[in-house]
């Protein structure tokens, strides 16, 4: 012990030092939400008109994994009170009975950077491999909810399946064509790698150690003749490939309650981003400078509670360049309140 | 009303999970890690606690009670996870915990090396003593709150904490 220190102080010091080392996984809120949503779908009705708010609050998750967007089915009607929850709630790793659709993170491209949406993807069988394959299929197809998002993979690319060995994941692709869209080969690979890594957190794998690509069942040394694919694919640092500012919630076309939470994340200088919401005719109804929890190179996030009357809105977020004051990296989504 | 940052309606179960997640998730995972010495397991336990909170929200409906509920769930969850892990792989668990400490040190937390022996000793305490120690000296809870979280009497909290502290005292006094 140091002079003047009591054994109790010394103990506090040690426990605190261990505790601050712990940084929770980024997808935690999404994982919790996925489980509570499944529960609701299994018959657990929300109280009151809150169901709409619930969808809105689909507040995302933390860091890279926000949240699911709109509920896949119609919202349960308002009920007078709580019903009995189904006794056996699914656990994170337990497979609900097939066929089923599951909310999974899916990466898309906008302006050469990665952005993520949560999609309800149908599964023929709810297995780890099928979850990852379905998320990759959704990603490569480019069927994003936000019309600004797309894919770097060529049209017609297919996903034969996924095989898992321990924590190593191999994605079997077909019809990869002769090049990525617009020649964005490295970005295409990151789109796939990020989707596999994120979807993997929704399986018993949790954290994939190695992600590989094979084509028509056979290993390939290079993808499109230039990207090394002979070994595990390298996941590029988030700051290099992810869009610097994300509007995680509300998602595109989400239905939000009157009181909802705008959830932003980004890797930006000093963690300062701008948030604006426009209503009918582009009229600005909400504007605020938002301080994220951290500045670049760390990923920061912020949740901003907002109350708005029913209507159609666009939420926009961006940062202002330190160099020339220009607006950079706008991410925006249209959504509905009420 | 437009653009007003406020909410008048009571929290729904989903609101509660979102708000309580933002406020307490990290702290609860840290608590779980101190009880379990396993980060992945601690996260599972805490996520289970939030799912259970969502299910029981209609009964709780109160943010203060909710935190106590979460804390109790985490303490119980950690205890049963430890029990499940069982004697068989206690040795495996030990070596992986050691690796974690070393890895952390490599990533810059050299200070953990100074605490290593103490943390090891805390890990070797019987579960109840460790709970009492961690809830008192890390979470800084009152005796009543600890009793609530552990589901035991205040007298029992006192005796678990005292025995735990007695077991640690020598290491604490000689620690760097």
Confidence band, pLDDT 50/70/90 cuts, at residue B86:
low
Nearest to A210 by CA among A237, A191, A190, A231: A231
Confidence band, pLDDT 50/70/90 cuts, at residue B9:
low
- Tell whether the model's pLDDT for residue A280 goes beyond 70: yes
What value does the mean pLDDT take over residues A49-60?
33
- Tell whether the model's pLDDT for residue A52 goes beyond 60: no
A163 vs A88: which has the higher pLDDT? A163
Q: Give B115→chain A minimum CA distance, Å.
A: 5
Task: For residue range A117-132, list pLDDT tens digits in order.
Answer: 888 888 888 888 999 9
Contact B168 A14 (CB under 8 A): no
B103 vs A189: which has the higher pLDDT? A189
Contact B15 A48 (CB under 8 A): no
What value does the mean pLDDT take over residues A48-54?
33
Model ipTM? 0.84
- B45 reaches A (C-beta below 8 A): no
B18 membership: H or E segment, kind and range? helix B13-36
Residues facing residue A218 across a β-bridge: A215
Sequence-separated (6 or more) residues with CB below 8 Å from residue B166: none
Buried b (16+ CB within 10 A) or exposed e, B73-87: bbbbbbbebbeeeee
Neighbours of A12 (CB within 10 A): 16
pLDDT recorded at residue B110: 52
- Tell whether the model's pLDDT for residue A112 goes beyond 60: yes
Is residue A266 within 8 Å of A226, Cβ to Cβ? no
Q: Say whether A314 sits in a helix, a strand or coil.
A: strand
pLDDT recorded at residue A21: 79
**Interface test with chain A among B16, B18, B40, B161, by most A beta carbons within 10 Å:** B18
pLDDT recorded at residue B45: 93
Report residue A144 as tokens. Answer: 């994003």
pLDDT recorded at residue A73: 33
pLDDT recorded at residue A54: 35
A196 vs A76: which has the higher pLDDT? A196
pLDDT recorded at residue A38: 60
**Nearest neighbour of B29 by CB, restricted to A22, A36, A307:** A22
Report residue A46 as tokens. Answer: 């929300």
Is residue B18 within 8 Å of A56, Cβ to Cβ? no
The percentage of residues in chain B with a pLDDT greater than 90, rounded to a whole number, is 45
User: Which range has the worst mean pLDDT, A64-73, A163-172, B45-54, B99-108?
Assistant: A64-73
Contact B17 A33 (CB under 8 A): yes
CA separation for the pair B169, B165 (Å, rounded) = 6
Q: Which chain B residue has its CA at the smallest distance from A306's CA?
A: B5
Confidence band, pLDDT 50/70/90 cuts, at residue A263:
confident
pTM for this predicted structure: 0.51
- Tell whether the model's pLDDT for residue A80 goes beyond 70: no
pLDDT recorded at residue A76: 32
B9 vs B3: which has the higher pLDDT? B9
Neighbours of B165 (CB within 10 A): 19
- B106 reaches A (C-beta below 8 A): no
Buried b (16+ CB within 10 A) or exposed e, A264-277: bbbbbbebbbbbbb
CA separation for the pair A310, A335 (Å, rounded) = 11
What value does the mean pLDDT take over residues A207-213?
88
- The side-by-side arrangement of strands in the sheet containing A311-320 is A254-256, A327-337, A311-320, A272-278, A284-291
CA separation for the pair A33, A30 (Å, rounded) = 5
Report residue B166 as tokens. Answer: 């007695």
Contact A1 B175 (CB under 8 A): yes
CA separation for the pair A124, A260 (Å, rounded) = 34
Q: Give A230→chain B minimum CA distance, Å.
A: 29
Contact B7 A7 (CB under 8 A): no
Is residue A127 within 8 Å of A162, Cβ to Cβ? no
pLDDT recorded at residue A248: 85
């Amino acid at each position: 012990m140091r002079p003047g220190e009591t054994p109790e102080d010394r103990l506090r010091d040690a426990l605190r030092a261990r505790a601050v080392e712990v940084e929770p996984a980024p997808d935690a809120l999404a994982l919790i939400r996925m489980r509570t949503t499944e529960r609701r779908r299994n018959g657990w009705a929300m109280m009151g008109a809150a169901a709409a708010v619930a969808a809105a609050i689909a507040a995302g998750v933390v860091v890279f994994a926000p949240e699911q967007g709109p509920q896949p089915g119609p919202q349960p009607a308002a009920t007078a009170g709580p019903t009995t929850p189904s006794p056996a709630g699914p656990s994170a790793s337990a497979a609900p009975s097939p066929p089923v659709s599951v909310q999974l993170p899916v990466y898309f491209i906008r302006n050469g950077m990665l952005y993520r949406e949560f999609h309800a993807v149908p599964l023929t069988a709810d297995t780890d491999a099928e979850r990852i394959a379905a998320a990759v299929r959704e990603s490569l197809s480019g069927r994003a909810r936000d019309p600004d998002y797309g894919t770097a993979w060529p049209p017609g690319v297919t996903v034969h399946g996924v095989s898992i060995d321990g924590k190593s994941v191999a994605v079997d692709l077909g019809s990869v064509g002769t090049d990525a869209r617009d020649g964005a080969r490295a970005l295409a690979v990151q789109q796939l790698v990020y989707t596999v890594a994120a979807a993997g957190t929704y399986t018993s794998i949790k954290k994939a150690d190695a992600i590989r690509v094979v084509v028509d069942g056979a290993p390939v040394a290079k993808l499109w003749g230039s990207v090394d694919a002979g070994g595990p694919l390298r996941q590029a640092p988030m700051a290099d490939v992810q869009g610097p500012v994300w509007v995680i919630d509300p998602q595109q076309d989400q239905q939000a309650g009157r009181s909802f939470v705008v959830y932003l994340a980004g890797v930006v200088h000093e963690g300062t981003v701008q948030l604006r919401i426009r209503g009918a005719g582009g009229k600005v109804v909400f504007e605020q400078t938002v301080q994220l929890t951290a500045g670049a190179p760390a990923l920061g996030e912020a949740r901003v509670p907002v109350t708005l009357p029913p209507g159609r809105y666009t939420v926009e977020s961006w940062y202002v360049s330190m160099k020339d004051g220009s607006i950079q990296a706008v991410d925006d989504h249209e959504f509905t309140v009420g | 009303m437009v653009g007003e940052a406020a909410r008048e309606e009571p929290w729904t179960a989903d609101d509660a999970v979102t708000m309580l997640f933002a406020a307490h998730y990290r702290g609860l995972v840290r608590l779980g890690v101190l009880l379990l010495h396993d980060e992945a397991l601690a996260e599972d336990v805490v996520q289970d606690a939030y799912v259970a909170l969502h299910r029981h929200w209609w009964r709780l409906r109160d943010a203060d009670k909710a935190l106590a509920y979460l804390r109790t769930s985490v303490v119980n969850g950690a205890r049963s996870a430890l029990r499940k892990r069982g004697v068989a792989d206690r040795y495996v668990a030990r070596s992986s915990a050691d690796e974690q400490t070393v890895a952390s040190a490599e990533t810059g937390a050299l200070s953990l090396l100074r605490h290593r022996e103490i943390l090891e000793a805390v890990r070797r305490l019987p579960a109840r003593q460790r709970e009492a120690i961690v809830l008192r000296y890390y979470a800084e809870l009152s005796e009543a709150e600890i009793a609530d979280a552990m589901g035991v009497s205040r007298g029992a909290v006192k005796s678990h904490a005292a025995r735990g502290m007695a077991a640690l005292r020598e290491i604490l006094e000689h620690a760097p």
